[in-house]
Amino acid sequence: MRTVVVIGGGIVGLATAWELTKRGLDVTVLEKEDHWAAHQTGHNSNVVHAGLYYKPGSFKARMASAGNRSIVDFARQYGVPVEVCGKLVVATSEAELPALKVLAERAEENGVPAKLITPSEAREYEPEVSCVAALRVESTGIIDFPAVCTALVRLLDESDADLRLGTPALGIRPGRTGGVEVATGDDVIHADALVNCAGLHADRVARLAGLTPSARIVPFRGEYYELKPERRHLVRGLIYPVPDASLPFLGVHLTRMLDGSVHAGPNAVLALRREGYTWRDISAKDLAEVARFPGVWRLARKYAYPTGLDEVRRSFSRRRFAESLARLVPAVTEDDIVRHGSGVRAQALRPDGALVDDFLIETARDQVHVLNAPSPAATSALEIAKHIADELNG
């Protein structure tokens, strides 16, 4: 039986492992933390994206649209909480109308069920929303992605996969007779193939395996607030702004969760370590690596002012954060929100300063490396897994 070692125990790594076991492969999964879904999967907004925003024909467009269906079907089959509730993307000024229209056209190209609606129609969904027009997207949902991972782990256990927590990959080299060897400190694992789904450390794992990846991971922290319980009635579902097409982030938005709470955010600031969930999380090694990478400085020249500065100010100011939310729902005030937590996005950046705006998957002999899989990767995880399995079989 052919053997594969998967590095990374987030949703993409676990989905890939499950897909490989279904195809008859013997799989080992290595996760350096002591629990599954420890980083990006366990710190995201738990939104099932529809595939609205992405360039037609791109990996993101194809995989998000298909993933929207497959992840919902998976959740329903295996008892994972999920709700297809739809969302509103709202234009709050006349200046945003052209971009909203472009989104509607892109939705049609990507096969996403969506329609432009009037302010009065938008208020039928969200009575407190403020807009000059909106796009209603029917297939967006909310889900418990960590629970998806729990279900995948159960399925992998039942398939006799070798699941190893607290097991980092410390060294990777070609096997003497083909395949790969992965040193973990306690063991050397021999496998016919390697799949790298290491998320925030994907580029480092690729270099460990002898590749020179075309992009570098730069960590961006997204900070969340939530509405106080007595103010949750202000939001019934999901309310998003019209995004800035030049940025990879969707902007601060409001999301009603499965438990009835309403999350607000995230913003986007440079994290000071790969797993930097607060301003106090600092790594000299990670910062030195960022400082040595020319792509970061080229990106900074483009976005540091005013965009980057505004994001940092909002990070330190609850008032500024509330003002961003009030553009969507004017009734939201500074007194209505409390801090909720944060996540870190593994954003791939090229040496010329260009943000990688699509999933980036690179291959070598007996190896597949997922080097850029931010949102909507969780939505698309089962589809990414199929693509990786096809790459290995190819």
Residue 314 lies in a domain: yes
Q: In this structure, are residues 136 and 88 in contact, taking their beta carbons and an 8 Å threshold?
A: yes
33 and 151, same structural domain? yes
343 and 207, same structural domain? no
Residue 64 lies in a domain: no
From the list 317, 132, 358, 124, the residue with the least C-alpha distance to 242 is: 132
Enter the DSSP assignment of 231: G
227 and 153, same structural domain? no
Mean pLDDT of the chain: 95
Residue 319 lies in a domain: yes
Residue 74 lies in a domain: no
Whether the predicted pLDDT of 358 surpasses 70: yes
Number of domains in the chain: 2
**CA 318, 321, 323, 329 torsion-angle sign:** negative
334 and 247, same structural domain? yes
CATH classification at residue 173: 3.50.50.60
From the list 125, 148, 139, the residue with the least C-alpha distance to 49 is: 139
Residues 6 and 302: their CA atoms lie apart, in Å, by 36
223 and 210, same structural domain? no
Residue 201 lies in a domain: yes
Whether the predicted pLDDT of 146 surpasses 90: yes
151-210 pLDDT per residue, tens: 999 999 999 999 999 999 999 999 888 899 999 988 999 999 999 999 999 999 999 999
| Rg of the chain over all Cα atoms, to the nearest angstrom | 21
228 and 292, same structural domain? yes
Residue 121 lies in a domain: no
Expressed as residue numbers, the domain containing 322 is 216-349
The least confident of 1-5, 206-210, 275-279 is 1-5
CATH classification at residue 226: 3.30.9
Q: In this structure, are residues 165 and 36 in contact, taking their beta carbons and an 8 Å threshold?
A: yes
The stretch 37-64 carries a mean pLDDT of 95
Helix (H) or strand (E) holding 298: helix 294-303
224 and 210, same structural domain? no
Domain final residue pick, 333, 349, 365: 349
Q: What is the pLDDT of residue 347?
A: 95
Q: In this structure, are residues 203 and 217 in contact, taking their beta carbons and an 8 Å threshold?
A: yes
Residue 332 lies in a domain: yes
365 and 293, same structural domain? no
C-alpha distances out from residue 333 to 35, 89, 162, Å: 37, 21, 50
Whether the predicted pLDDT of 150 surpasses 70: yes
Cβ density class 240-269: b for 16+ within 10 Å, e for less: bbbbeeeebbbbbbbbbbeeeebbbbbbbb
220 and 208, same structural domain? no
229 and 203, same structural domain? no
318 and 184, same structural domain? no
Residue 84 lies in a domain: no
205 and 292, same structural domain? no
The stretch 299-317 carries a mean pLDDT of 89
Question: Would the pTM of this model clear 0.85, i.e. be above it?
Answer: yes
Among left, alpha and beta (phi > 0; psi -120 to 50; other), residue 185 is: left
Residues 347 and 336: their CA atoms lie apart, in Å, by 31
Q: How far out from the chain centre does Cα 115 lie? A: 25
